[in-house]
């Protein structure tokens, strides 16, 4: 049985009390911090940069958590070193933005960071065939990237299962991460399909319950 990791997305956190919000999630049992970086070009939103990664790094260090940075940006190779210096443990890039994907993945690893790749919901898994042996994480987007709070695309479950089969066929130990519309109600389905890292934003940092109660709901759903 593979360990399952919960990765709260700070996109939905309260930035006025970001450190406290992240600490609540980690103290409750989450062990990744997911940072969504958007440039207003590849996706229709602008979010955060290396300074926020630098700000959450000490919180992660105190809790032994992984800082998981998802670059939804054009020409991500321009900023890899900046995010590595800021404290990213994982840098994930989109196949759609990297015409020289192997070179980008290699550059991430040379910076001492674990490389990840991801693709949009309508992008075929065949685009990953040549890069899977070289990455430590593969991210399935189960919504169209750009904004938090969207609903899970139901066909993503079959796509996760196909990716799990691809990873297993080459003996890969890469994490299989899923991001978009993940809630306690579908978490078990996603894990059963083969996911090992669940990204959740509004389902952890939103709603009437506390962050700790929301994390506990995920843990109960996966028990």
The residues that are catalytic are 36, 179
d(CA 63, CA 11): 20
Q: Give me the residues paired with residue 138 across strands.
A: 117, 176
Question: CA–CA distance from 219 to each of 11, 62, 171, 202 (Å)?
Answer: 21, 22, 28, 16
**Stretch (H or E) spanning 86:** helix 80-86
Nearest alpha-carbon partner for 142 in 86, 187, 107: 187
Question: CA–CA distance from 106 to each of 36, 91, 98, 158, 174 (Å)?
Answer: 21, 11, 12, 29, 15
Looking up tokens 């956190």 gives: 13
Q: Which two tokens stand for residue 9?
A: 């997305």
Instruction: Please give the DSSP secondary-structure letter assigned to residue 151.
Output: P
Nearest alpha-carbon partner for 21 in 205, 214, 213: 205
Q: Which two tokens stand for residue 37?
A: 């970086």
């Amino acid at each position: 049985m593979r360990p399952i990791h919960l990765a709260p997305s700070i996109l939905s956190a309260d930035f006025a009390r970001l450190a406290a919000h992240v600490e609540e999630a980690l103290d409750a049992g989450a062990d990744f911090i997911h940072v969504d970086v958007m440039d207003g070009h590849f996706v229709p939103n602008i979010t955060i940069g290396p300074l926020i990664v630098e700000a959450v790094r000490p919180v992660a260090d105190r809790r032994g958590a992984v800082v998981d940075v998802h670059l939804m940006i054009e020409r991500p190779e321009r900023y890899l070193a900046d995010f590595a210096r800021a404290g990213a443990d994982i840098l994930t890039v989109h196949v759609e933005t990297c015409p020289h994907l192997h070179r980008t993945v290699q550059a991430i690893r040379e910076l001492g960071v674990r490389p990840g790749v991801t693709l949009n919901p309508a992008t075929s898994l065949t685009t990953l065939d040549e890069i899977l042996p070289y990455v430590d994480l593969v991210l399935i987007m189960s919504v169209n990237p750009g904004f938090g709070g969207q609903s899970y695309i139901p066909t993503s479950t079959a796509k996760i299962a196909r990716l799990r089969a691809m990873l297993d066929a080459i003996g890969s130990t890469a994490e299989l991460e899923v991001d978009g519309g993940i809630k306690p109600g579908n978490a078990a389905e996603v894990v059963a399909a083969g996911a090992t890292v669940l990204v959740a934003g509004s389902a952890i940092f939103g709603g009437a319950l506390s962050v700790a109660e929301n994390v506990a709901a995920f843990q109960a759903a996966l028990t």
